[in-house]
Amino acid sequence: MGLRPNLLTRRVAGVATTTLALLLSTAAVGVAPAAAHVGHADEACAEPADTHSDAKIKVGGVAKHEPNELTATQVREREADLAAVLAARAKRTDLKQGPAATASITIPVVVHVIQRDSTRAGGNIPDSMVSSQISVLNQSFSGATGGTATAFAFQLQKINRVTNPSWYPIVQGSSAERSMKTSLREGGKGTLNIYLGELSDDLLGWATFPTRRLSSMDGVVVLSESLPGGTATNYNQGDTGTHEVGHWLNLYHTFQGGCASSGDSVSDTPAEASPAFECPTGRDTCSTAGLDPITNFMDYTYDSCMYQFTPGQASRMLTAWNAYRAA
């Protein structure tokens, strides 16, 4: 699918139109479960031992801990867990012991701005950038950028500013990250916590996948200057946030598993052998039907190239929400 002529004007006023390249990959960082259970029915099946988080690296960056996408085994474990939770939920609903599935969701968002000091260089970004990021999320997930409308909207509840040099930069998988999130995270499973700041190892962001048990690590971490209007050249239109929230809602990369197996577990995203970069119109790396989904938010292409979720992705996110995050 080619680049739409009006693609560069799809964002809200005031958002930079510089193209940005996002190199995205998955890091094997375990998410420790909290003590509380969703319900007794969930206890029958143990969730995957290593639920992982996703991370993305700036083009040309070299991470000290090289992030990797999930293995086929890890994907099978996650998919089996999702099926088990859905089956348990259906049984509870049939017996009038659980809530009905939700079809339209407004997600409350708490944004934590982590600062070294009061300067912009020290992480003190303006509230306007945060508001613009929420607008980008709402446009992307509503289909306003040209993709499928999903069930999700986002409502900013709070901007929490924290000056703490020991948490700056935010280091993925560190004890400081755990301390930060344990101290700051607010709300239940359905509350999106976004942590903004300078990040370690050339990373643009990372996110946790949903799990049956709420962890204090749950949430999304994003490079603050990658927000719309930020100073991160080629990374400042806000789709780092869009991509990571997609993972938070249980989407894999479009190239997960390459040309083999079930790929990203979504039937309407054509198989893709490897990440796509820039905007390679007509790229086709697998023999199965369909060109590579280079315009999908869950690939690695420039922000000026990506603009959509598919109906299958919208359905998968809603299914996962009702399985893991619904009240």
Q: Which residues are catalytic?
A: 244
DSSP output for 2-25: PPPTTGGG-SPTT--------EEE
**Separation in Å, CA 37 to CA 44, 108, 128, 248, 288:** 11, 22, 37, 19, 41
Compute the distance between CA of residue 295 and CA of residue 114 in angstroms, rounded to an integer.
31
Nearest to 251 by CA among 150, 159, 167: 150
Compute the distance between CA of residue 262 and CA of residue 186 in angstroms, rounded to an integer.
35
Nearest to 197 by CA among 122, 119, 303: 122
Alpha helices in the chain (DSSP H): 72-94, 127-142, 175-184, 239-248, 311-320
Compute the distance between CA of residue 157 and CA of residue 139 in angstroms, rounded to an integer.
18
Q: Are 250 and 223 in contact (CB under 8 A)?
A: no
Compute the distance between CA of residue 314 and CA of residue 149 in angstroms, rounded to an integer.
7
Compute the distance between CA of residue 327 and CA of residue 321 in angstroms, rounded to an integer.
10
**Separation in Å, CA 186 to CA 55, 94, 131, 237, 245:** 22, 32, 19, 26, 17
Q: Are 146 and 308 in contact (CB under 8 A)?
A: yes
